[in-house]
Chains A and B, each alone.
Chain A
Amino acid sequence: MPSFVHQRCFNHAGSEAAARCPECRRFFCRECITEHDDRVLCAACLKKLARRPLARRFAFAQIFHLALCAFGVLMAWFFFFLIGEGLSKMPDSFHEGTLWQVHWIDKE
């Protein structure tokens, strides 16, 4: 097992290693490591870890947005469908404006 004393930082050849990243198994100096969830990680691995759930969240958001878009199109379609159906069911006399010209007085 290599000891820290003989190891150099992966990024800075002039600096002594202070920790070993448990993800990539490389040695790093104090400047290149950080603590995350009780683990000491290098910047690159931390970035990868942070990106993974974001990417997953982004993919989920995209799917969710597309579903909402489809719902929006469906809603617009349904609205105009209802209007069209209502129009086609109305009597011709209503569309022609003759509905109000019924001479009910004459009928009496």
Chain B
Amino acid sequence: MRRARRQHGRGAFDFIEEATHLLRTAPAATLAVYYAGTVPFILGLLYYWTDMSRSPFANQHLAEAALGVGALFLWMKFWQAIFARRVRAQIAAEPPPRLHFRRALNIFLTQTIVQPPGLFIIPLVLVPVIPFAWVYAFFQNATALADGDDSSLSRLCKKSWKQAVLWPRQNNLALAIMLAFAFCVFLNWATVCIMLPGLLKMLLGIESAFSKSPLAMLNTTFFAGMFGLTYLSVDPVLKTIYALRCFTARRCKRART
């Protein structure tokens, strides 16, 4: 029993439950750290999306706008790594770690190197489906394990990959559950946002183009917005799951040695 548990890890549901509990009990500052990075990126991406899909002059400033969104992406990844660091401290029942300039710079540089390839690799591995969980876990672990110490980049990559291939059944199952959960969250947000103009008209008498024709809302910007809201709702849980996985794996390794 114990051996099987060591091989497959704890149940995926246990991890999700514990991660959700951790997030619920996390101090507001931890969540603020996460959203300080992610909200600007989502807003920037939505603006970029709308601009590129609507503006006739979009091509004239495409390169600058793409650079801006790229910078916001790196900004988000930096803050997500800080968030994961705080979550790890919370799991270990330690006070939130202090962030020095040098450490912050190290984290930022590491994330700048490791995360951008994921933008191409993750959609690519979605095609053959099978390696997705491992590759996705690798990039999540690279966020969860980034500590900003002077250890080399290759060490972080090695550690991230080692943790990614650990307990594959648990990893795959947790991702499948979270995907189903994300779909439900997406439907929830979409329903709320489609009903909102009708509710505004009914309760406050505010008439708009969308209250006259709710189907007019179904454009690509709306779907991008819903994806953004879903990401903001689900991703903190995912990040916490991977921080928890990394912490548990380390604890198991220490217990064995």
Contact = CB atoms under 8 A, between A and B. Distances in A.
Interface of A is mostly: helix
Contacts of A65: 109, 113, 153
B62 to A, nearest CB: 5
Contact of B119 (A79, A84, A85): A79
A81 B66 contact: yes
A95 B219 contact: yes
B74 A76 contact: yes
Contacts of A94: 220
Interface stretch (B1-9, B52-60, B174-182): B52-60
Contacts of A75: 116-117, 119-120
Interface in B105-150: 109, 112-117, 119-120
Contacts of A97: 215, 218-220
A87 interface: yes
A94 B223 CA distance: 12
Nearest to A70: B112
B116 A76 contact: yes
Q: Which of B58, B70, B218 has the most CB of A within 10 A?
A: B70
Interface of B is mostly: helix
Contacts of A79: 70, 116, 119-120
Nearest to A90: B53
Interface in B57-82: 58-59, 62-63, 65-67, 69-71, 73-74
Contacts of B54: 95
Interface residues of B, number: 33
B113 A69 contact: yes
A69 B115 CA distance: 10
Nearest to A100: B218
Contact of A72 (B62, B63, B112): B112
A80 to B, nearest CB: 4
Contacts of B218: 97
Contact of A96 (B49, B58, B69, B219): B219
A78 B120 CA distance: 10
B73 A72 contact: no
9 contacts: A65-B113, A68-B113, A72-B113, A79-B120, A80-B70, A81-B66, A96-B219, A97-B215, A97-B220
Q: Which 3 A-B pairs have the closest CB atoms?
A: A76-B70, A75-B116, A81-B66
Interface of A: 61, 65, 68-69, 71-73, 75-81, 83-85, 87-88, 90, 94-97
